[in-house]
């Protein structure tokens, strides 16, 4: 996979303001929805806007022309539904309906599972779409000419609850169980990585690439929650409304240099496409490939120790040279294993209201580090890392190779090493990119060698 062209992501402040005003007017016209939105924002610290899956209008609405003037374009989906989208932004699409006029104007709230939302809110209404379908929904209310739906997606970007993408429930649940129980903590890492690649092929064949991607990411996030108190606690708060983690912005896998090409190959098999690359500079010794599933709209950060002369290499066909030093990412993998194997995800980023989220988690005894992005259009911060125990054999090997010194060896044996984080991210103006400059600072500040010494505190 050769390096993708550099991308300069734009800020669409006027378009976002238009959609936010549309949402605000909708809430003001419907007290029941307004109360729900207020409760969600207070209890989860996530903006209600970030739970919106899509808006909808009739075919003759003046909003269509407004949105086209604000950077949206008409797109015909695979299910023949027409939407207005700005694919260069994170803004939700607008579905153009041609059904009953009283259902034209509306919005849909996106959740992980419609049934969880209905249960949490004591609702008993029909769910459209079979239990293993790629797109399911429930009608919530219709008041003041506003229709509100609850929707869930499994690797599907369309709007047809009768889509041919439906599969046998047994096939889906078996795929989920197989990924969860695949070999991770084994002596032969080559076998573990190749097993993951084989499963990616098999899942893509029986589920389709994008639902297969949904299975993999969903399972990895679930595993991450078992090892990250901040994520587990935030998920609990979201689940008070049955929302789940439908507000995920991106997830991050860390890789050793040896297995990085395998990681790229795995996600290409699952339908992810390359976006921008990062290089944090000679001192940081770290780089990343950003990938995105264009259907799910979810992004991946794939981190690896990188030399300055390697940023333009073809990650799929060229081999990384062996190194006798470890940067932040390489050391993390030596201590805990690759993300695709023993360690699991390094962090999950949730779209939330920045200050409110830090305050909410702090009240739960979960403090945050210093923010590493503080732009009007992009704010990012990590919670303090979870400390994971490290097998003594890994520590001994690192000491023998001279990668860590005696003091670090003792500290890792006694206290463990920093493992995972929750990232709070707030986007504005539909900005889709990341902070190329100061992201290197947070990588440095989460280096396991420095945690516990006062650096990065």
Per-residue tokens: 242: 């049955």
State the average pLDDT over residues 255-275: 95
The better pLDDT of the pair 160, 38 is held by 38
Is the pLDDT confidence value at 454 over 80? no
Is the pLDDT confidence value at 103 over 60? no
Instruction: Say which residues have a Cβ less than 8 Å from residue 158's Cβ, sequence separation at least 6.
Output: 77, 78, 79, 81, 135
Span 40-70, pLDDT tens digits: 999 999 999 999 999 999 988 999 999 999 9
Q: CA–CA separation, 37 vs 31, rounded Å?
A: 10
Span 220-238, pLDDT tens digits: 999 999 999 999 999 999 9
Q: CA–CA separation, 403 vs 327, rounded Å?
A: 10
pLDDT recorded at residue 453: 39
- Integer angstrom CA distances of residue 139 from 2, 33, 132, 143, 148: 45, 13, 19, 12, 6
Is there a common fold for 13-153 and 170-445? yes
> Which residue reads 């389709």 in tokens?
208
State the average pLDDT over residues 145-166: 87
Give the predicted TM-score (pTM) of the model: 0.93
Q: How far is CA 303 from the centre of its chain?
A: 15
The residue extents of the domains of the chain are 13-153, 170-445
Q: Specify whether the CB–CB gap between 89 and 12 falls below 8 A.
A: yes
CA torsion, points 21, 22, 28, 34, in degrees to nearest 10?
-100
- For the ranges 1-10, 178-187, 330-339, the lowest mean pLDDT is seen at 1-10
Q: CA–CA separation, 267 vs 263, rounded Å?
A: 7
> Phi and psi (nearest 5°) for 331?
-65, -40
* 393-407 burial code (b ≥16 CB/10 A, e <16): ebbeebbeeebbeee
Mean predicted lDDT score pLDDT of the chain: 90
> Phi and psi (nearest 5°) for 353?
-80, 115
pLDDT recorded at residue 281: 61
- Integer angstrom CA distances of residue 138 from 108, 109, 135: 10, 10, 11
State the average pLDDT over residues 265-274: 96
Q: Specify whether the CB–CB gap between 241 and 120 falls below 8 A.
A: yes
pLDDT category at 186 given cuts 50, 70, 90 is: confident
3-state secondary structure of 238: helix
pLDDT recorded at residue 8: 85
> Which residue reads 């997830």 in tokens?
251
Where helices occur in 337-384 by DSSP H, the ranges are 354-363
Q: Specify whether the CB–CB gap between 299 and 434 falls below 8 A.
A: no
3-state secondary structure of 75: strand
| Residues making up the chain, counted from first to last | 457
Is the pLDDT confidence value at 80 over 80? no
Is the pLDDT confidence value at 445 over 80? no
pLDDT recorded at residue 289: 93
State the average pLDDT over residues 421-443: 82
pLDDT recorded at residue 165: 62
CATH of 170-445, one of 3.40.718.10, 2.40.30.20, 3.80.10.10, 3.10.180.10: 3.10.180.10
Closest CA to 241 of 113, 96, 381: 113
pLDDT recorded at residue 456: 29
Q: Is domain 13-153 given the CATH code 3.50.50.60 in the classification?
A: no
pLDDT category at 319 given cuts 50, 70, 90 is: confident
Q: How far apart are the first and last CA of the chain?
A: 37
State the average pLDDT over residues 308-321: 80
Q: What is the sign, positive or negative, of the torsion defined by CA atoms of 21, 371, 275, 271? A: negative
pLDDT recorded at residue 5: 62
Closest CA to 104 of 116, 94, 112: 94
Span 322-360, pLDDT tens digits: 777 788 899 999 999 999 999 999 999 999 999 999 999
Per-residue tokens: 77: 């989906």
Q: CA–CA separation, 115 vs 121, rounded Å?
A: 10
Per-residue tokens: 236: 């609990």
Q: CA–CA separation, 395 vs 254, rounded Å?
A: 19
pLDDT category at 309 given cuts 50, 70, 90 is: confident
pLDDT recorded at residue 283: 59
SS3 content of the chain, % helix, strand, coil (to 5): 40, 20, 40
pLDDT category at 39 given cuts 50, 70, 90 is: very high
pLDDT recorded at residue 112: 97
List, in sequence order, every residue forming a beta bridge with 273; answer none if it has no partner. 292
Residue percentage of the chain with pLDDT more than 90: 72
């Amino acid at each position: 996979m050769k390096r993708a062209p550099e991308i300069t992501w734009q800020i669409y402040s006027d378009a976002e303001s238009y959609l936010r005003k549309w949402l605000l007017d909708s809430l003001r016209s419907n007290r029941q929805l307004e109360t729900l939105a207020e409760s969600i924002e207070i209890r989860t610290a996530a903006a209600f806007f970030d739970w919106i899956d899509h808006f909808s209008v009739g075919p003759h609405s003046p909003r269509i022309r407004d949105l086209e003037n604000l950077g949206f374009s008409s797109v015909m989906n695979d299910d023949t539904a027409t939407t207005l989208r700005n694919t260069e932004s994170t803004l939700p699409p607008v579905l153009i309906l041609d059904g009953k006029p009283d259902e034209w104007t509306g919005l849909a709230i996106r959740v992980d599972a419609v049934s969880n939302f209905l249960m949490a809110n004591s609702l008993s209404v029909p769910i459209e779409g079979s239990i293993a379908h790629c797109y399911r929904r429930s009608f919530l209310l219709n008041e003041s000419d506003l229709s509100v739906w609850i929707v869930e997606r499994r690797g599907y970007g369309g709007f047809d609850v009768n889509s041919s993408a439906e599969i046998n429930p047994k096939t889906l649940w078996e795929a989920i169980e197989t990924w969860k129980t695949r070999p991770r903590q084994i002596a032969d890492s080559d076998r573990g990585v190749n097993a993951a690649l084989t499963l990616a092929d098999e899942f893509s064949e029986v589920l389709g690439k994008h639902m297969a991607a949904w299975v993999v990411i969903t399972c990895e996030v679930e595993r991450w929650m078992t090892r990250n108190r901040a994520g587990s606690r935030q998920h609990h708060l979201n689940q008070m409304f049955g929302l789940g983690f439908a507000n995920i912005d991106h997830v991050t896998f860390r890789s050793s240099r040896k297995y990085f090409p395998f990681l790229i190959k795995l996600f290409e098999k699952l339908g992810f496409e390359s976006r921008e690359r990062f290089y944090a500079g000679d001192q940081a010794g770290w780089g990343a490939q950003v990938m995105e599933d264009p259907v799910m709209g979810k992004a991946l950060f794939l981190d690896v120790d990188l030399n300055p002369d390697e940023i333009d290499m073809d990650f799929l066909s060229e081999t990384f040279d062996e190194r006798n030093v470890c940067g932040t990412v390489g050391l993390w993998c030596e201590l805990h294993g690759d993300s695709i194997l023993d360690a699991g995800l390094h962090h999950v980023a949730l779209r939330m209201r920045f200050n409110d989220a830090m305050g909410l988690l702090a009240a739960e005894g979960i403090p945050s580090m210093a923010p590493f992005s503080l732009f009007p259009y992009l704010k990012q911060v990590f919670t303090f890392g979870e400390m994971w125990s490290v097998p003594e054999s890994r520590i001994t090997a690192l000491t023998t190779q001279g990668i860590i010194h005696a003091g670090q060896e003792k500290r890792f044996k006694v206290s463990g090493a920093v493992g995972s984080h929750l990232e709070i991210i707030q986007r504005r103006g539909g900005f889709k990119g990341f902070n190329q400059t100061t992201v290197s600072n947070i990588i440095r500040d989460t280096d396991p060698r420095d945690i516990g010494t006062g650096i990065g505190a």
